[in-house]
């Protein structure tokens, strides 16, 4: 299973951008549904509005240090990063407001059409429920990475109270493909060729707790 991802990294020339030491694996669960205890959001966003979406952020939007993570929702390495690296960065730097943390979509794609549909599902949640809802969606999509598809997106919409049909249809129709394409162009202009790629104030660092922490600390 890892041969495919490793081959993509090699073909994309990622040595020196992404650490090869970050291991990851697909989840073992088979249920195409997200966790039942997700917070219910009171969505007021308009899915019919046709405008580019901003990068979802958390932390202090005005912080001097910006951390950007380029991710593909179908990438096992990204799942590993989100589940085993981000929680520490969240606790030490994001929650205290020491950094501005951004997500950028970068479908390689690792898997089609899921690399794209999952990104569109997460962006639909962002539009309907705001950035806080987006981060819930991101965590859930990675947690259930082996079940990416219309049933999972419908479940995400239902459990967040944002509308199962709205989220499922936005994903299936790739409602936010232009925003996702723009994120990908943004990444390629920064030298991104694989996922996850993490930039701290514009400089690529290994997607590990030690490397990200060191870059943030040295930027202070």
Residues 6+ apart with CB under 8 A from 172: 117, 150, 153
**76 has pLDDT over 90:** yes
pLDDT value at residue 51: 73
Residues 11-40: tens digit of each pLDDT:
343 333 333 334 332 233 345 788 777 888
Residues 95-135: tens digit of each pLDDT:
999 999 999 999 999 999 999 999 999 999 999 999 999 99
**Was domain 54-219 assigned CATH 3.40.30.10?**
yes
pLDDT value at residue 58: 98
pLDDT value at residue 34: 80
pLDDT value at residue 87: 98
What's the rounded Cα separation, in Å, for the pair 201 and 100?
10
Mean pLDDT computed over every residue of the chain: 86
What's the rounded Cα separation, in Å, for the pair 190 and 62?
21
H or E segment and range at residue 205: strand 203-205
What's the rounded Cα separation, in Å, for the pair 4 and 74?
12
- Beta carbons of 109 and 148 less than 8 angstroms apart: no
Residues 164-210: tens digit of each pLDDT:
999 999 999 999 999 999 999 999 999 999 999 999 999 999 999 99
To the nearest 5 percent, what fractions of the chain are helix, strand and coil? Answer: 45, 10, 45
Q: Strands 57-59 and 66-71: what pairing?
A: unpaired
- Residue bearing tokens 């390495």: 77
**138 has pLDDT over 70:** yes
pLDDT value at residue 39: 81
**9 has pLDDT over 80:** no
Q: How many CA atoms lie within 13 A of 115 on its CB side?
A: 19
7-13 contacts, C-beta under 8 A, 24 or more apart: 8/108, 8/110, 8/194, 9/194, 12/108, 12/193, 12/194, 13/193
pLDDT tier at 46, thresholds 50, 70, 90: confident
Question: Averaged over 142-164, what is the pLDDT?
Answer: 95
pLDDT value at residue 15: 33
Question: Averaged over 39-59, what is the pLDDT?
Answer: 82
Q: Record the tokens describing residue 116, joined without a space.
A: 């794209």
């Amino acid at each position: 299973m890892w041969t495919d991802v490793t081959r993509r990294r090699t073909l994309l020339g990622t040595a020196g951008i992404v650490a090869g030491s970050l291991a990851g694996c697909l989840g073992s669960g088979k249920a195409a549904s997200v966790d039942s205890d997700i917070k219910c959001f009171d969505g007021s966003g308009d899915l019919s509005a046709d405008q580019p979406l901003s990068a979802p952020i958390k932390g202090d939007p005005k912080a001097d240090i910006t951390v950007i993570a380029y991710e593909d929702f179908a990438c096992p390495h990204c799942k590993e990063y989100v589940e085993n690296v981000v929680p520490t960065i969240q606790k030490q730097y994001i929650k205290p407001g020491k950094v501005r943390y951004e997500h950028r979509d970068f479908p390689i794609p690792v898997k089609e059409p899921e690399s794209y549909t999952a990104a569109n599902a997460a962006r639909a949640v962002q539009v309907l429920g705001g950035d806080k809802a987006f981060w819930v969606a991101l965590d859930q999509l990675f947690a259930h990475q082996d079940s990416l598809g219309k049933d999972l997106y419908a479940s995400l919409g239902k459990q967040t109270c944002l509308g199962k049909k709205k989220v499922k249809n936005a994903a299936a129709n790739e409602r936010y493909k232009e925003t996702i394409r723009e994120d990908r162009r943004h990444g390629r202009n920064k030298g991104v060729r694989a996922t996850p790629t993490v930039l701290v104030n514009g400089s690529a660092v290994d997607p590990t707790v030690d490397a990200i922490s060191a870059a943030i600390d040295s930027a202070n």
